[in-house]
A = this chain, B = another copy of it.
Amino acid sequence: MNNRFAFVGGKQGLWQVTRIDNLIGTGLEMVERLDVVNGEADETEAAWILRGLTSNVRYATRVEVNALKQIQPTLNRPEALCAALIPIKKTAQWWDLSQDERREIFEETSHHTEIGMDYLPAVARKLHHCRDIGEPFDFLTWFEYAPEHTKAFEDLLDRLRVTREWDYVEREVDIRLMRLV
């Protein structure tokens, strides 16, 4: 299993880009399509390529892991025609925090996992890490949901973006996609 993924913005791929909102910091330019590649990508015609990798859980407790396993949906559900890719970079101050301080803000204060649970199984989610591999963002989170859950997905983002955790976000782009059928 290759744990590396590349998100290639350009003219190719199964996903049509419907919107790019450059929310915090330097943005990404609008493109027509997004190609999701499991492995390496070096498309020379890409407008941009974001790379990340899947890893072990960094904050979740056993209780949370078990609860998530019971309810979280898989990717590629036929009805999940909508997707979002949300690249985020956190501040140096965040990364200087100790593990217990980050966990405290992430869950006990900001309820990141708990909020996400409220939108399961509607919204599927997959996290890719990229801070350690010299990428411009720290995380690339991929979401998939059916069109009728668009409002629920917006609620989820609204709730996360007002948390204390988001005080540590210094760059955020919100890329919305529709699967080409």
Taking CB atoms, residues of chain B closer than 8 Å to A97 are 62
Check A100–B132 contact: CB distance below 8 A: no
Check A62–B95 contact: CB distance below 8 A: no
Count identical subunits in the complex: 2
Task: Determine whether A47 belongs to the interface, using a CB cutoff of 8 Å to chain B.
Answer: no
Task: Determine whether A64 belongs to the interface, using a CB cutoff of 8 Å to chain B.
Answer: yes
Range of interface residues on A (Cβ < 8 Å): 20 to 34
Task: Determine whether A129 belongs to the interface, using a CB cutoff of 8 Å to chain B.
Answer: yes
Task: Determine whether A58 belongs to the interface, using a CB cutoff of 8 Å to chain B.
Answer: yes
Taking CB atoms, residues of chain B closer than 8 Å to A64 are 98
Measured CA separation A103–B61 after assembly (Å):
10
* Chain B residue at minimum C-beta to C-beta distance from A58: B99
* Chain B residue at minimum C-beta to C-beta distance from A95: B56
Measured CA separation A59–B101 after assembly (Å):
11
Task: Determine whether A70 belongs to the interface, using a CB cutoff of 8 Å to chain B.
Answer: no
Listed A/B pairs (16) with beta-carbon separation below 8 Å? A2-B134, A3-B134, A4-B134, A53-B132, A53-B133, A55-B131, A56-B131, A57-B98, A57-B99, A60-B98, A61-B99, A62-B97, A62-B100, A64-B98, A129-B132, A132-B132
Task: Give A contacts to B, CB under 8 Å.
Answer: 2-4, 53, 55-62, 64-65, 95-101, 103, 129, 131-134
The 10 closest A-B pairs by CB, nearest first: A61-B100, A62-B98, A65-B98, A56-B95, A55-B132, A53-B132, A61-B98, A59-B99, A60-B98, A62-B101
Contacts A4-B134, A55-B131 known; list 5 others, CB within 8 Å.
Answer: A57-B98, A57-B99, A60-B98, A61-B101, A99-B103
